[in-house]
């Protein structure tokens, strides 16, 4: 078959040889199929992929929630235990009326341990989420074992009291800070301890402010 002998006029397509017709039909079908895939199937495939990813995410979410649902009672028991522990901790926090008494207890614990107080200065309260920190800056002098006895005694108080930023140095390193008449009264082995003692009480400021806001709205 000589292609130059074929009349390529489309109006004469009926006279084309059968192989040529088959090739032309195949090309037309390929173009139509390619156009259909490009304009329709590609978007559907992208949507399918997106839906499959959503299915994976939903399946993972379902499995996570299903595990939580199975252990729901355990979570409730743990929450109840946490609430009991929190309530117990709040009970150990001194009220505002008890703070003054607690300060006396801390001071007496130091004196009973054989320490000399050079500084006992309560600082401003620091508000936290549901409680307030009440820091007390102290500076005491005594033997190492007396300092340890003091810290143990503070930890044994019925209210929550913690010791922070402890710095202990031999007394001879701090003589330049003492008056001359005080230098001779310290013995070998005396130590100077600087620390911050913190106690805590329940923070009711947020609750009060919230109540005031509600009354203001009314």
Could you give the CA distance from residue 166 to residue 122 in angstroms, rounded to a whole number? 16
- Output the pLDDT for position 185: 67
- Could you read off the pLDDT of 199-210 as tens digits, one per residue? 887 765 544 344
- Whether residue 156 is contained in a domain is answered as yes
CATH (domain of 130): 3.30.70.60
- Whether residue 188 is contained in a domain is answered as yes
- Could you read off the pLDDT of 64-79 as tens digits, one per residue? 888 878 887 888 888 8
Q: Which residues of 58-67 are buried (b: 16+ CB within 10 A; e: fewer)?
A: eeeeeeeeee
Lowest-pLDDT choice from 33-42, 101-110, 124-133 = 33-42
* The pair of three-digit structure tokens given for residue 48, joined into one six-digit string: 């399918």
- What's the structural domain count of the chain? 2
For the entire predicted model, the pTM comes to 0.51
- Output the pLDDT for position 174: 47
- Could you read off the pLDDT of 134-190 as tens digits, one per residue? 899 999 999 989 999 999 998 888 888 889 999 999 886 445 454 445 555 667 778
Comparing 118 with 68, which gets the higher pLDDT? 118
Query: Could you tell me if 16 and 6 are in contact, meaning their C-beta atoms sit under 8 angstroms apart?
Result: yes
Same domain, 100 and 197: yes
Q: Which domain holds residue 25?
A: 15-70
Query: Could you tell me if 132 and 166 are in contact, meaning their C-beta atoms sit under 8 angstroms apart?
Result: no
């Amino acid at each position: 078959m000589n292609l130059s002998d074929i009349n390529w006029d489309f109006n004469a397509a009926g006279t084309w040889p059968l192989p040529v017709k088959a090739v032309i039909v195949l090309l037309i079908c390929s173009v139509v199929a390619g156009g259909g895939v490009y304009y329709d199937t590609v978007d559907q495939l992208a949507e399918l992929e997106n839906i499959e990813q959503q299915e994976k995410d939903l399946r993972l979410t379902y499995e996570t929630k299903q595990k939580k649902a199975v252990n729901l009672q355990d979570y409730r028991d743990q929450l109840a235990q946490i609430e009991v522990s929190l309530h117990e901790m709040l009970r150990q926090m001194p009220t505002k009326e008890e703070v003054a008494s607690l300060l006396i207890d801390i001071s007496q614990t130091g004196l009973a341990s054989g320490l000399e107080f050079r500084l006992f200065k309560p600082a401003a309260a620091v508000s936290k989420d549901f409680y307030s920190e009440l820091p007390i800056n102290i500076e005491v002098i005594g033997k190492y074992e007396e300092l340890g006895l003091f810290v143990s005694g503070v930890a044994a108080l019925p209210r929550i009291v913690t010791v922070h930023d402890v710095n202990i140095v031999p007394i001879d390193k701090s003589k330049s800070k003492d008056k001359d008449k005080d230098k001779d009264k310290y013995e070998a082995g005396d130590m100077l301890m600087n620390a911050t003692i913190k106690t805590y009480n329940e923070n009711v400021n947020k609750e009060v402010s919230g109540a005031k806001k509600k009354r203001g709205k009314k």
